[in-house]
Amino acid sequence: MRADDDIRFLKSIKKPITSGETIAMVPSLVGTPSQARGETMETVNVDRQINLKGEVCPYTFIKSLLTLEEMEAGQVLRVVVDYLPSVENVPQSLKNEGHDIVEVAQINDTDWAITVRKLALDEEE
């Protein structure tokens, strides 16, 4: 049921978020380490950005994960998507893989930015 609640929440947001406004956080992702530290796009340096507009699940997740594999632990990736299910699925799947979701924010009427920090995984340490 939690995924359904998150999708309803995301669909309920009608206007884009502009600079200085509170960002839209996916409710089930609240409480990640970055959020506990108060980090947002305004305080985090993005090391790499990928544009996945036009892509659908599971490709949005797979391409995000492959990009993170090329990055160093601690680096930050920004993923831009326009497929609403990806707004829920990509952050949740990346969180399940052990990465830190910094922010999920609507950037205009159709696009969302998912910001994720690569965390060191056991096999990489």
Per residue in 6-44, pLDDT (tens digit) is 555 555 544 443 333 334 445 455 445 555 555 555 678
pLDDT of residue 62: 97
- E strands in the chain: 48-51, 76-81, 100-106, 112-117
| Annotated catalytic residue, options 44, 50, 57, 119 | 57
Catalytic annotation present for 28: no
Q: What is the dotted CATH code of the domain comprising 2-124? A: 3.30.110.40
- Is the full-model pTM beyond 0.75? no
Nearest 5°: the CA angle 59, 33, 66 is 25
What digits encode the pLDDT tens for the residues 41-67? 567 899 999 999 999 999 999 999 999
Can you read off the two tokens belonging to residue 47? 């090391």
What digits encode the pLDDT tens for the residues 98-109? 999 999 999 999
Provide the pLDDT confidence category of residue 3 given band limits of 50, 70 and 90. Answer: low
Give the list of residues 6+ apart from residue 23 with CB closer than 8 angstroms, or none: 17, 40, 41, 103, 104, 105
Domain boundaries, the chain: 2-124
